Amino acid sequence: METLTQPVQNSMKPGKWLNSSCKMCIHSCTTRIHVTEDGVINKIEGNPTSPSNNGRLCPKGNAAILRHYDPARFRTPLRRTNPEKGPGVDPKWAPIGWDEALDLVGRELRKTLEEDPRKLMPAINDFQKLFLWAWPAALGNANYLSSVGNFCGGGYHPMNGFIHAAFAAANDVNYCNYWINNGGGDGFSSHLHTAAQANHVAKARVERNMRVVVVEPRLSIGAAKANEWVPIRPATDRQFALGLAHVLVAEKLYDAKFLKKDTNAPYLVGPDGYFVRNGEGRIYVWDAVDNCARLWDDPEIKEVALEGTYTVEGKPCRPAFQKFKDILAECSPEQMETLTTVPAATTRRIAREFAKAAQIGSFIEIDGRMLPLRPAAYNYYRGAQGHKYSAMANHAFKLVNFLVGGIDAPGGHVGVTLDDQMQDIRGGCGQIQPGENGMMQTMPHQLHPEVPFSWPPNETHLMGFFPIGVDPGHLTQHTLANAEKFGLDYRPDTLLMCHSNPLWNLPGDREQWYALLRSMRFIVAVDILPNESNEWADVILPSHDLLESWNMTMIEPPHHEGMCLRQPATPPLYDTKSEEEIFYEISERLGLLETWNGILNFVNGFHQKPELLLEPNRKYSDREIAERKGKLWNGQDLDWYVEHGHAVTPRRPDKWYRPWDGMRLHFYLEDIVRARDTLRQKMEAADVPFRHEWEWGDYQPLPTAVPDPVHLEPADFDLYAITFKDIQINFGESIGNPWINDIVFKDPVHTAVLLNPKTARERRLDEGDIVRIESPYGSIVAKIGLSEGVHPDAVCVSNALTRVATQNTGVRHGGGNFNQLLPANLRHTDACSGQPETVAKVRLTKLASVPAEIAAGNSVFSKGRAH
Amino acid sequence: MAKWGMVFDLRRCIGCNACAVACKQENSLPDGVFFTKTLSEEVGEYPDVTRSYVPTICNHCEDAPCERACPTGATYTRPDGIVMVDRNKCIGCGTCIVACPYDQRTRLEPEMLKEGLFGGGRMTPFEEQGIGRFTVGTVVKCTFCHERVDAGQLPACVATCPTEARIFGDLDDPTSRPRQLILERRGRQPLPEKNTNPRVFYID
């Protein structure tokens, strides 16, 4: 028998364990990190004391060590020596010292700010240090270049703010028995705390027989594990939801008590789309018993009407519910089938199953509080909501949950805050506020306060024109290409990126983006690894990675809450700094230290505990900021967090379930009508020349079945291209990590672009054929893989195939970035939410071979090293 | 003494391969080498189609054909049922690779230990601290994380599995979770016709 003197397994070697948190996606599963006696990190596991991820980690979390030790990491500040810039062009970096780099950045930014602050475009995207997103506020600048937030959730986040005053939403796995997933991987492959959610959902599926129905164009992981996969034509998810709503309403499978008592569904809506109010601004409802109009809070009301047509204050009006019912008259499952291809009988059956599972009328006692129990919920995300009429899509999905009374009910569809400490924004605990006429105040702004309207526009992405939306960073391409039309009296020439890769995540023509970057006088990037965007930088400021820095975060945990500690497991491997230090140093050089500390106090919520306030003219370390955030959460100091790793507990039921009890939710979104009209007045008053072509129809108080304009592209673009991620590549850059490459490029789902075999046969295409995928806006090259798990109208492109060749040759590049198939214009942007369309109509053309420029290097078309 | 075994719950497994990556980091596996991996297969025709995810691992067979085939006695079974390879006795003849009906053994070729995970022969500190356990020309495979198990811990793949699809325990203990699951949900061994009596069971 072999005699071992030293352990061979990494976790068993002599060393120490440290508590920390993962950052391989944007979320924060808790971890424990093993460091050898020689100071080498050799194992990362989930922290079993966390009730959220229960000691589990996804493949990305398991691969963090190789991000840490990636030889491609930026090791010192770098200055570009090659004046030529372009995709794949070597910047010929020259190492420089920190003082020189920061002085250079400070000087260049100061020059820009002195000329015109609007010329600086920030793209700051670290989700675990959300306070950095507020740095541009110190400059009075909201000219954001990026597509984070609006690409996946342009309509999603504001709608969660409208309905729950929260940033995200989840199905309540604690009690749910019937789980619909539409275009979102929650519980299986993506979105909120994937490993944690997969853990809890698997238990619900297997131990409680929770039924899962997945509605998607592609057989995703969730669809593969579901009791039922419902294939759907891309970009028709809203119509499917409206078909469900039609059945729920037509067959009276709805929670009338909830709608009457807890929502504005009975409020009377006039012909102008506004509620009918008396002279004092108070809203009317109709008393169905006394057959008369009464104010909504009149104690004499016997029974409010949900249906009917009335005349009040001389105006014809209907309850909001009736307005929705009128819309649903055109949304029968049979009518919707012509768009969705989902058989009407399937939609009807699912609607009935859903309503039955919702147990309308049932209650449950939790912590001494009697709550409605609604164990059926409709979840959705990027794939379902990433369309032109995104606000309407999100509202339609919400309304399915409304109809069964499932909003924020145990087992139902519940709001998820982004970071509870940020009281005033981002879904913090201070967000549940009473609004007018008994309704909860809507909170569509989850990422930053409203950006004021300006003409000429102060923001190239026109954020001031999206009073209830998320930053449509992609529109910068459109406005700069038509600068005169959009009244731009300046041209941005400086770009500051922090953990951001806009060239990867923005839709639109690549050449135009390249031209935009070429036109920049100065680009600085705070980052860890080279990518498509920071390759264009003039200066790189290298930051610590997740194993070298301090942080405290809770970011969108679906069922849990509490701060998670990040602490350094080793000293920095290289000459890097924390983001905190970098932004302090830049702020100081710009004379903004005091302003920045003031902003940090506000966005971190330190103003709630004066002893935590940052002094105006001091610079604080990542450790000091982290300690304050921990103290704010539970009063514990950093030593406590170092010992425990986290303060994660299940969500407190009083905050989690119906925290708005006593207020009414917005079934009908009058605020959208008001936002439209206010914006229109501002555009009229400013004589904005493009106001007549603004997409005013996008602002709807209730969703309709109007098809998204992607369906109206020329007929010869006969297929729909979608892109997808799975758990191995969920959120952010993973390709290039050898362990991720080792599993992803062995998976047939990620090695070729997926096409239904019947569709392929009709086009004389076969497995392995090389094709050009062409949309009206751009094209990419792909290898075809046949899959029965694909809707016949769909072309499915894994996100693993969409990287572009850079100096970081470990990142295998595909046949072009999927996003260049997508338009970056107003027509395909939801004027209400800022969401761009994420589906492209395409046609396929067979090629003789992979074009040489694409096949070169470490391409996904080559065999790849040892893969 | 315990007889260690594993149950794969196919209803739980989501094919994410966190198991495979956890194994790679626990065991410092070279690029392209797996002690465990989860396969996927599409089953059916549109629209009546699904994809099954099937975790695979060394089955630590009670009647291990690899052990019988090994000419040098390098492959042996510990008293607790874990099938091991003694790299000091392994001559890399590959007989065991052919004998294993489950394709779970890998011979370490020189380039595997030379190239490094990032290629080009650059070894990270992580690899440098771990790669010494391997000898070129010998055969490697899953050991059920024997050192962790000896210390009372779960194998790395089991500990990390997000959906708890891997259930590890003593197959000789009628009260153990794997034994109960095998009984309750009619656990099946892989390729029973090979008469290897695997200590790995699948339930669905």
For the segment A1-51, what is each residue's pLDDT rounded down to a tens digit?
Answer: 445 568 999 999 999 999 999 999 999 999 999 999 999 999 999 999 999
- Contact indicator for A559, A52 with CB cutoff of 8 Å: yes
Looking at residue A866, its pLDDT comes to 40
Contact B25 A738 (CB under 8 A): no
pTM for the model: 0.97
Looking at residue A857, its pLDDT comes to 87
Residue carrying the six token digits 């909120």: A192
Other Cβ atoms less than 10 A from the Cβ of A106: the count is 17
3-state secondary structure of A561: strand
Contact A221 B14 (CB under 8 A): yes
Other Cβ atoms less than 10 A from the Cβ of A689: the count is 13
Interface contacts A/B by beta carbons within 8 Å:
202
CA distances from residue A129 to A27, A248, A609 in whole angstroms, order as listed: 11, 42, 20
Question: Mean pLDDT in runs of 10 for chain B (204 residues)?
Answer: 97 98 98 95 97 98 98 98 97 97 97 94 96 96 98 98 98 98 98 97 97
Alpha-carbon distance B164 to nearest alpha carbon in chain A (angstroms): 7
Q: Closest to A9 (Cβ–Cβ): which among B12, B52, B147?
A: B147
A224 contacts on B by Cβ (under 8 Å)? 15, 40, 50-53
Q: Closest to A11 (Cβ–Cβ): which among B11, B76, B156?
A: B156
Alpha-carbon distance B163 to nearest alpha carbon in chain A (angstroms): 4
Contact B87 A2 (CB under 8 A): yes
Q: Which of A529, A742, A796 to mutate to test the interface with B (most CBs of B within 10 A)?
A: A742
Nearest CA in chain A to B149: A12
Tokens describing residue A708: 């998204």
Q: Which residues of A406-438 are buried (b: 16+ CB within 10 A; e: fewer)?
A: bbbbbbbbbbbbbbbbbbebbbbbebbeeeebb
Looking at residue A856, its pLDDT comes to 86
Going by C-alpha positions, the residue among A116, A134, A109, A110 that lies closest to residue A124 is A134
- Contact indicator for B197, B65 with CB cutoff of 8 Å: no
Alpha-carbon distance B21 to nearest alpha carbon in chain A (angstroms): 6
What CA–CA distance (Å, rounded) separates B142 from A716? 53
Q: Closest to B22 (Cβ–Cβ): which among A62, A203, A221?
A: A62
Tell me: the pLDDT tens digits for A124-157? 999 999 999 999 999 988 888 877 778 889 999 9
B86 contacts on A by Cβ (under 8 Å)? 1-2
Tokens describing residue A206: 């297997």
Predicted ipTM > 0.90: yes
Contact A65 B86 (CB under 8 A): no
B53 contacts on A by Cβ (under 8 Å)? 224
A46 contacts on B by Cβ (under 8 Å)? 159-160
- Phi, psi (deg, nearest 5) at residue A829: -115, 135
Looking at residue A422, its pLDDT comes to 60
Q: What is the DSSP letter of A612?
A: G
- Contact indicator for B126, A40 with CB cutoff of 8 Å: yes
Contact A38 B51 (CB under 8 A): no
Contact B126 A65 (CB under 8 A): yes
Q: Which residues pair with residue B53 across a beta bridge?
A: B40
Contact B148 A38 (CB under 8 A): no
- Percent helix, strand, coil in chain A, to 5, is 35, 20, 50
Q: Which of B13, B17, B86 to mutate to test the interface with A (most CBs of A within 10 A)?
A: B17
Q: Which of B126, B135, B139, B142 to mutate to test the interface with A (most CBs of A within 10 A)?
A: B126
Alpha-carbon distance B175 to nearest alpha carbon in chain A (angstroms): 19
CA distances from residue A453 to A448, A463, A467, A473, A566 in whole angstroms, order as listed: 15, 8, 8, 16, 39
Contact A231 B47 (CB under 8 A): yes
Looking at residue A417, its pLDDT comes to 83
Looking at residue A426, its pLDDT comes to 45
Nearest CA in chain B to A223: B50
Nearest CA in chain B to A727: B16
Contact B50 A865 (CB under 8 A): no
Tokens describing residue A747: 């998976």
Looking at residue A731, its pLDDT comes to 80
Nearest CA in chain B to A55: B160
Contact A46 B122 (CB under 8 A): no
Q: Closest to B160 (Cβ–Cβ): which among A45, A188, A787?
A: A45
Q: Which residues pair with residue A310 across a beta bridge?
A: A317
Residue carrying the six token digits 């920045």: A596
Q: Closest to A11 (Cβ–Cβ): which among B34, B148, B161?
A: B148
Alpha-carbon distance B93 to nearest alpha carbon in chain A (angstroms): 19
Question: Mean pLDDT in runs of 10 for chain A (867 residues)?
Answer: 73 98 95 98 98 97 98 98 96 98 98 96 93 92 82 92 92 97 95 94 97 98 98 98 98 98 98 98 98 98 98 97 98 98 98 98 97 98 97 98 98 87 55 93 85 95 94 95 94 96 94 96 98 97 98 91 96 98 98 97 91 97 97 95 97 91 97 98 97 96 98 98 94 90 94 97 97 98 98 97 91 94 96 97 97 89 62
Tokens describing residue A414: 């519940």
Looking at residue A6, its pLDDT comes to 85
Looking at residue A865, its pLDDT comes to 52
What CA–CA distance (Å, rounded) separates A33 from B203? 33
Alpha-carbon distance A439 to nearest alpha carbon in chain B (angstroms): 40
A196 contacts on B by Cβ (under 8 Å)? 162
Alpha-carbon distance B170 to nearest alpha carbon in chain A (angstroms): 21
Helical ranges in A493-578 per DSSP H: 502-505, 510-518
What CA–CA distance (Å, rounded) separates A359 from A410? 11
